Each structure stands twice: as C-alpha cells, then as structure tokens.
Amino acid sequence: MDFTHSELQTMLADSIGKFIDNEYDFDTRQTYAGSERGFSDDVWATFAELGWTALPFAEEDGGIGGDAVDLMVLMQNIARGLVVEPYLANVVLAGGVLGRAANEAQKAQWLHPLIAGDLQATLAFVEPQSRYDVTDIATTAARSGGDWILSGSKGLVPNGGTADLVVVPARTSGQPGDTAGITLFAVPGDTRGLQRTAYATFDGLRAAEIAFDGVRVPADHVLGEVDAGFAALDATIDDATLAVCAEAVGLMQALTNKTVEYAKQREQFGVPIGTFQALQHRMVDMLMSCEKAQSALIWAVLARAGSGDDVKRAISTIKYLVGSVGQKVGEEAVQIHGGMGVTWELDVAHQFKRLTAINRQFGNADWHLDRLAT
C-alpha cells in the first residue's frame, strides 16, 4: 500500500512546518497561552488565510474537501508547536456537526463564518455523569410555543469561554443512554440564561463549564431533525478522537526526537549520556512506541476515510495506544532530561502534559480497552 503524501498533504505539512519554525516558537506559544483569551486572534486569522480552517469541509460549503488522512497530517504537524489556538473545538467539533447536520441557511449563518475565521464555536457534549458516553445526556430541551427551552449543564467545554456559538446536544425524548431522542441545537454564546465559567486546563488550553438555565432557542436553530442528532454527533466524536490521536503521535515523535538530541549533547562522566547503553535501550523503546502508534493511526484513519466495518475498533485501538505507550514516551522523555524535564521553561514538560490530557479526552485508555473487549 502506498503511504506517500499527496500533493495537498505535502504542501500542508510544509506550510505548518514553516509557520511553527518562523512564527510560533515555544516562548510565543506561552505568551498566547497566558493571554486573556488563551490564544491569538491574529494566529487564528492566519490559520484561515492558509486554508487550514477550511480543510475538512466539502467544497460546496466553502471548504477544501479534505478527508480523514488530510486532517491527520494537519494535527500531527501542529502538535510540534503545541498550538493553543482552538482548532479542535472550532473546526473538528463544532464544524463537524454543522457540516453534517446544518441546512444551507444555517451553514451560511454559522459554518461559512467559521471557515473564514470570523466565528469562534464549540461543541458542548460532556456532562458530569456521562463518563465518555455521548448518549448519556441529561440536558433537556422542551417545546415552548415555537421555541425550545434548554435546561442542564455541560462540562469541560473546549473554547467554551470565548465561543460565539455553542453547539449543544440535548435530550428531547427517551432516556439517557438512548441513541434516539438526541437533538442538536445551535446556541449563540450571548443567549440569555447561558452561564459559563471559564478556566485554564493543566495542559495550557482553555475550557468552560456551561449552564443552561431555561435558555430559549428558536426552532430554526435546531440542526437536522428533532430526535435524530446522534448520527452526526457520533461521527463528529469519531473524527475528533482520531484528530487528538494524530496530535498525540506528533507529540510522541517530537518528544523522542528532542530526547535523542538532548542525550547526544548532555555529558556525564566526560561522555554524552546517549552513549550509555541503558539509555539507548530506553530511547529505542520510545522510537518503537512511536512507530507502533503511527501504524495504528494510519490503519484507523484509512478505515475512517473508507468507512470500513472496523472503524470503531480501529479508533479504540489507536486511542488505547496513545493513552498507554504515549504516557510511557512522555515519562521517559522527562526522566532522561532529568530535573529540567519538569520545568515550566522547557517545552518537554508541556508536551507531556498535553499527552496526559489527550488520554482523558474522548475516552481514556481503559475505556477504549473495554470497548475493544465488548
């Protein structure tokens, strides 16, 4: 099988590499992460200008028409810069639902500005009791005249503090755990009754808790059919899971490369520590873990791009791997760097924190291992 990048993928990887090398060093990243919004609006505008925000969307919607493989290339490459701009929340999560469920008028109102970089959005799907089950939705929506009234709460909403639009799955019939009875709503961030508490996450990104206290939503803000939102939600979560897996593999590769280079330079007893056989074995294990994860990622992404029968199994396999061997790669990188490996000033510590956070997004290693066993 030919794994050579297409012309689009090669151009994409090159443009991301140049951007990170020339405009997004680690100190710049830390400045953006510590700002009030937690990211740079100017950088986000650059993402749009370079076409990255348009990548996964259909050409008829103003996108580039990229597939799961193209998204993998993007996420794996931006991982090297520890990018804090909310690509996952905007493009993959909110954009994924809008692209699948919105009608043409709704796409013109929300998806097109999102692609242009003019709209910040997110998908609020996690609830306190849900434990990675996207069907365990207690937030309700009830009809009131020609509108809907939303009541409930969502947690760990990425980009939730700054989003102009919040896409909300709510239960309109059935019980938590049912795939039927889920309806998707587009809720402007300034809607009365929508209350959010924003905070920084331990990996340097931003999230929010969002409460819906009798939030009134017009009927034309329903995305897709009433009670039939699960398919779009489930497909979007699959894409997002693969996206963070690609990011994790990129982080693993970056950590391995940095550790090998450090071991060549750091001297102890008059020689580079990279000459010590015990450390060589550990770094070889890191490299083997990267190769194993890369292979599983390619399998999962190709399964997703081809809509194969083993998509869920492939996704759980790669998510389990990046949560288990990825954690080990991060630990080894920190330990071989010594005490400086946990300092705020070194990017290795922040890459390890992001890897740790990814393990807890969209199902941790144990959750996906259980799914593989059932």
Amino acid at 66: G
| Segment holding 352, helix H or strand E | helix 347-359
Q: Which residues pair with 182 in a beta bridge?
A: 171, 228
Torsion of CA 6, 8, 306, 185, to 10 degrees: 170
Taking Cα atoms as reference points, which of 185, 198, 195, 219 lies closest to residue 94? 185
Output the furthest CA–CA distance in the chain (Å, rounded). 79
Going by the DSSP 8-state scheme, the letter that residue 173 receives in this structure is S
Same fold, 7-119 and 122-227: no
Classify each residue of 57-78 as buried b or exposed e, where b means 16 or more C-beta atoms within 10 Å of its C-beta: beeebbbbebbbbbbbbbbbbb
Beta bridge partners of 188: 165
Q: Would you call 205 helix, strand, or coil by DSSP?
A: coil
Angle between helix 230-265 and 68-78 (nearest 10)? 40
The dotted CATH code for 231-373 is 1.20.140.10
DSSP 1-60: ---PPPHHHHHHHHHHHHHHHHH--HHHHHHHHTSSSSS-HHHHHHHHHTTGGGTTS-GG
8 Å CB contact between 271 and 280:
no
Across the chain, which has 374 residues, the per-10-residue mean pLDDT values are 73 92 95 96 97 96 93 95 97 98 98 98 96 96 96 97 98 96 98 97 96 97 98 97 98 96 89 90 96 94 79 95 94 94 93 96 95 90
Question: Where do we find the tokens 């760097």?
Answer: 337
User: What is 122-227's CATH number?
Assistant: 2.40.110.10
If we measure between CA atoms, which residue out of 287, 296, 254, 286 comes closest to residue 83? 254
DSSP 228: B
- Asked if 59 and 65 count as a contact pair (C-beta separation under 8 A), the reply is yes
Give the domain ranges of the chain. 7-119, 122-227, 231-373
Task: Indicate the angle between helix axes 311-337 and 347-359, nearest 10 degrees.
Answer: 150
* Threshold 0.85, pTM exceeds: yes
Cβ proximity of 20 and 80 under 8 Å: yes
Q: Which class in CATH covers the domain with range 7-119?
A: mainly alpha
**Helix or strand or coil: residue 316?**
helix
Count CB neighbours of 203 within 10 A. Answer: 19
DSSP letter assigned to residue 366: H
In angstroms, rounded to a whole number, what is the distance separating the alpha carbons of residues 333 and 352? 8
